[in-house]
A and B are shown apart, each in its own frame.
Chain A
Amino acid sequence: QVQLQESGPGLVKPSETLSLTCAVSGYSISSGYYWGWIRQPPGKGLEWIGNIYHSGNTFYNPSLKSRVTISVDTSKTQFSLRLTPVTAADTAVYYCARYSNTWRADYWGQGTLVTVSS
């Protein structure tokens, strides 16, 4: 069974860097699929942030591209999100997910709330 679990600080100061990690179990990132991040501000809808292929190819939401970096660790058991600099508008629940080549997210993490505040 594929499982994903997000982790990282729940509070980030404005202008600083949001860093999250998604641990993957039950499937090897190296075996294929795309791995992505999606966020959801409190009470609002979903927003795609970006995806990464196991080879390292990345695809980002154009509206966030200048601030986002997604990477896969060398052990291929987790991938990460870096967003900088952050503002209060980046406060959201951040989800990681596995994506197919037809852009469906079939497995999701439980999500982690990140609040941007001083």
Chain B
Amino acid sequence: QSALTQPPSASGSPGQSVTISCTGTSSDVGGYNSVSWYQQHPGKAPKLMIYEVTKRPSGVPDRFSGSKSGNTASLTVSGLQAEDEADYYCSSYAGSNNLVFGGGTKLTVL
């Protein structure tokens, strides 16, 4: 199994929107609605931000949203805030009881 493909970096100014992509195949992202997104600040554990493609856990701001089209899932952060600067990782169920992560995207708030 190969890692999902994410852009290494993304950026935006406060108040703007940024979208991070996560590209896989029909065997993972495209084949299941088990895509999750995690936020990780330096030195901290990852935090679940989106699950099952579009759902937000309690406590996650509605500025964070998820979607999927074909083999590509996306995380959109609207109304960027300074505290959104972090690394973001996607993950997807890949069949046969396997899970695969993306390589991560460093989001910079300019």
Task: Write the residues of chain A forming the contact surface with B, with a CB cutoff of 8 angstroms.
Answer: 38, 45-48, 51, 59, 61-63, 95, 100, 102-106, 108-111
A103 adjacent to B91 (CB under 8 Å): yes
Task: Write the residues of chain B forming the contact surface with A, with a CB cutoff of 8 angstroms.
Answer: 1, 3, 33-34, 36, 38, 44-48, 51-52, 57, 89, 91-93, 97-104
Closest residue to A101 on the B side, CB-wise? B34
The winner among B1, B36, B45, B51 for most chain A CB atoms within 10 A is B45
Q: Known pairs A62-B98, A105-B91. 18 more at Cβ < 8 A?
A: A46-B38, A47-B101, A48-B99, A48-B101, A59-B98, A61-B98, A61-B99, A63-B1, A95-B45, A102-B34, A102-B52, A104-B34, A104-B36, A106-B51, A108-B45, A108-B47, A110-B44, A110-B45
A103 adjacent to B34 (CB under 8 Å): yes
B46 adjacent to A105 (CB under 8 Å): yes
Given A46-B89, A62-B98, residue A105 in contact with residue B36 (CB < 8 A): yes
- With A and B bound together, what is the CA distance between A13 and B88 in angstroms? 32
How far does the Cβ of B103 sit from chain A's closest Cβ, in whole Å? 5
- With A and B bound together, what is the CA distance between A91 and B3 in angstroms? 19
Given A103-B93, A104-B51, residue A111 in contact with residue B45 (CB < 8 A): yes
A-B residue pairs in contact (CB < 8 Å), sample of 16: A45-B3, A45-B103, A46-B91, A51-B99, A59-B97, A61-B1, A102-B52, A103-B34, A103-B36, A103-B91, A103-B92, A104-B36, A105-B46, A105-B91, A106-B51, A109-B45
How far does the Cβ of A28 sit from chain B's closest Cβ, in whole Å? 21
- With A and B bound together, what is the CA distance between A105 and B48 in angstroms? 7
Complex interface: chain A residues within 8 A of B46 (CB): 38, 46, 95, 105, 108
Name the 6 nearest CB pairs between A and B, nearest first.
A59-B97, A104-B51, A108-B45, A48-B99, A45-B104, A103-B93
How far does the Cβ of B71 sit from chain A's closest Cβ, in whole Å? 17
Given A61-B98, A102-B51, residue A48 in contact with residue B45 (CB < 8 A): no
Complex interface: chain B residues within 8 A of A45 (CB): 3, 89, 101-104
A46 adjacent to B101 (CB under 8 Å): yes
- With A and B bound together, what is the CA distance between A108 and B91 in angstroms? 15
